[in-house]
Amino acid sequence: MPPDAPSADLLAAGATGDSAAANALHERLAGRATRLARSRLPRRLAGRVDAADVTQSAWNSLFLGARTGRLTPRGPGDAWRLLAKIVVRKAGRLARRHGAAKRDAGRERTPDAFDPAGAAGTASERLAGREELSRALAELPAAARPAARLVAEGWEANAAAADVGRTPRSVRRDVAKLRAVARGRFETFSLPPAERYSDYLLTGFLGAGGTGKVYRATYRPTGEQVAVKYLRKGLSGDVAAVRRFRRGAAAAAALADGGERGVVAVRGVGRTPGRGWFAVLDLVGGPDLQALIDAGPVEPALAAGWAAALGETLARCHAAGVIHGDVKPANVLLSDANPAVAEPLLTDFAPPPIDEAPAAAFGSPAYCAPEQADPHRWGPVGPAADVWGLGATLFALLTGRPPRVGASAAVLAGRAARGEPVPSVLHVDPRVPGELAALCAAALAVRAVDRPTVADFAAALRRAAASPS
């Protein structure tokens, strides 16, 4: 479509995936929209909120609305009127949200942020940095630790103080103590680089889960296609949820930086204009395993081969000190749309916190190990939890359903916490080769000590994949 086409036509074409049309419309309207956003933001937010970020947020909403049919330009000028309406609404919402001026409203990394490590280094070195951070925090008074930990993870001191109910001055004093304790000890652990929200143009919806949504996006400076995952808005103010999101992003980034090819790389994290969180990931060509399972069981040799590859990846992760924490079909993407040539890639890491004890329940109820559902009863979460998750994923590939089913997540979590044994694969589908059924049963043992190591499990799966019987 020619770049001088009517705006309504460019919007319609861009909504169907025509990036040239979308860029032409952006060049036509973005400057005007940014000026509108700037005029609608209060002076007290000047220099703290980037009007271009507001425009980009509105721009993404415009295209998503056009793609789903919620927003339809019906005549000349309608594309601008729709965009302007969204800009005004978002700017007003930002002004109201930041009315108390208690939280940082602009920079993604702030002067208060104590980065206990640099961006370089291996995964194991970064994880060692986390352990050192835990030891340093332990030397602070108990009341000072929560806010100091948040600032160490990159939060603004004002925001951390508001979240834990302390004054910004006291938080900064505690962070200064933490710096003094930690100086010379931290070398390598950090979050992936901060990303600018306005650099990404959303072009399509990829999927959703319990914690957020994932979109296809174009990185505007280069035109490269990536995936952007947004933490669900309702979780943005949940300190524990934000920690999990950031911890998972840091783990995946560290592994990828260390050369691990079996994970979906996280390129960076950032904040939206509304102070939500997003992560930028490599765009993967194939579906997740859950999409295949929804269509029915997978051929046993293929299922065993994928599970073996995942086990080998997990073994390397464990050697680097990383526990995935939420292994399930929806968190495994295929590298190619053709399953016959695709490799499975782990995504959505949810490693358990190493600096908090005792750990609370976490994981997906249908696929989590008993110790994830009740660590007080079954012991701390370790690498064996990933073995359980991998065994449960193999169970689902072979049978078309998870090993644990129930009417609700609460029911499933209760069964996991009680350590109720799951059924045999052969009870669900007698056609499954006996060797694979036995391997599943071993991986799904109730007690962690009764499960094989992930390396042994992967080796056995490789043998089974070669000649399942």
Residues with a known catalytic role: 326
Q: Write down the H helix ranges in 98-144.
A: 123-138
Closest CA to 74 of 17, 6, 5: 6
* 3-class state of residue 285 by DSSP: coil
Residue 229 labelled as part of a binding site: yes
Between CA 345 and CA 288 the distance in angstroms is 9
Look up residue 105 and give its two tokens. Answer: 């409203």
Question: What is the distance between the alpha carbons of residues 37 and 28, in angstroms, rounded to a whole number?
Answer: 16
Euclidean distance between CA atoms 431 and 398, whole angstroms: 9
What is the Cα–Cα distance from 392 to 440, expressed in whole angstroms?
A: 7
Three-state SS for 272?
coil
Taking the alpha carbons at both ends of the chain, their separation in whole angstroms is 56
Strands of 200-208's sheet in order across: 194-195, 266-271, 277-282, 224-231, 212-219, 200-208
The one-letter code for the residue type at 24 is A
Residue whose C-alpha is closest to residue 217's, from 172, 282, 159 = 282
**What is the maximum alpha-carbon separation in the chain?**
72
**Cβ(234)–Cβ(211) under 8 Å?**
no
Q: What is the DSSP string of 162-230?
A: HHHT--HHHHHHHHHHHHHHHTTT--S--PPPEE-GGGEEEEEEEEE-SSEEEEEEEETTTTEEEEEEE
Give the residue numbers of the binding site for ATP: 229
